[in-house]
Amino acid sequence: MTEHLTDRILEENAAVFSAMISHRFVQDIAADELPAAVFDRYLLIEGAFVETAMAIFGYAVAKATDLEDRRKLIGTLDALANEQMAYFETAFAQRGIAPDAALQADPRVAAFRDGMLEIARDGDFGAIVTAMFAAEWMYWTWCTALRDAAITDPMVRDWVDMHAAPGFTAQAAWLRDRLDVLGADMTEAERDATVRLFGRVQQLEIDFHSAAYADSSISAA
Ligand X SMILES: Cc1ncc(C[n+]2csc(CCO)c2C)c(N)n1
Query: Which of residues 79 and 186 has its CB atom nearest to ligand X in the complex?
Result: 79
Cα-Cα-Cα-Cα torsion 141, 145, 150, 151, nearest 10 degrees, comes to 0
Cα-Cα-Cα-Cα torsion 17, 208, 111, 96, nearest 10 degrees, comes to 150
* CB 151, CB 171: distance < 8 Å: no
H/E stretch holding 191 reads helix 188-210
Q: Closest approach of Cβ 207 to ligand X, in Å? A: 10
Instruction: Provide CB contacts within 8 A for 177, sequence distance 6+.
Output: none
Query: Which of residues 3 and 118 has its CB atom nearest to ligand X in the complex?
Result: 118
Q: What residues line the site for ligand X (CB under 6 A)?
A: 46, 49, 53, 76, 80, 132, 135-136, 139, 171, 205, 208
Q: Closest approach of Cβ 143 to ligand X, in Å? A: 9
Helical H segments across 64-163, by residue range: 67-79, 85-95, 101-105, 107-122, 125-145, 154-162
Query: Which of residues 80 and 173 has its CB atom nearest to ligand X in the complex?
Result: 80
Query: Which of residues 83 and 192 has its CB atom nearest to ligand X in the complex?
Result: 83
Q: Closest approach of Cβ 59 to ligand X, in Å? A: 13
Q: Closest approach of Cβ 201 to ligand X, in Å? A: 9
H/E stretch holding 109 reads helix 107-122
Query: Which of residues 107 and 192 has its CB atom nearest to ligand X in the complex?
Result: 107
Q: Is 149 strand, coil or helix?
A: coil
Q: Closest approach of Cβ 194 to ligand X, in Å? A: 17
